[in-house]
Amino acid sequence: MTSRINYFKIAPKAMDILLNQEQYLSNQFSSSETLSASLWELLKLRVSQINQCAFCIDMHSKVALERGEMPVRILGLNAWRGLPIYTHVERSALAWAELIVSDARVSQKEYELAVDVLTEPGLLDVTLAVNAINSWNRISKAFSPTIEKMSE
């Protein structure tokens, strides 16, 4: 198989924009009273599941485990609505993420439900986090970076 482009080498300034966004989100989720670093990992993993990005699912599953996430919460993420192991804030953020990844229009009621739980700054940060992982998913799917070793 022919290798695909190295996007970091071809467009380093564009990749820096995405990396700077990651740094911003890391700071926001680590310092927020509403959001958490664990939630950020769950969002990256859930959106990657929706987008069927194998590279990102592999990476973010490993990172979540390394950062102390419980395996049961990673394994159950695809069916989070039916499991009582996610907090109210996590449920709100996951619902919002699924909504904005879909083609559906966000209703005023859905917006109000999300902002009531996540706060305005939190809702913006969740939206930016979804946007960020969507970008990475599409880059990974288009240019197929190598997965060194899939998790067992």
| pLDDT surpasses 70 at 152 | no
pLDDT digits (tens, 9 = 90+) for 42-96: 999 999 999 999 999 999 999 999 999 999 999 999 999 999 999 999 999 999 9
pLDDT at 88: 97
Rounded Cα distance between 12 and 47, Å, is 25
Closest CA to 101 of 134, 59, 137: 134
pTM (global) more than 0.75: yes
pLDDT digits (tens, 9 = 90+) for 1-32: 567 888 889 999 999 999 999 999 999 999 99
For residue 133, give the CATH number of its domain: 1.20.1290.10
**Is 80 within the bounds of a domain?**
yes
**Is 148 within the bounds of a domain?**
no
pLDDT at 127: 97
**Is 1 within the bounds of a domain?**
no
Count the domains in the chain.
1
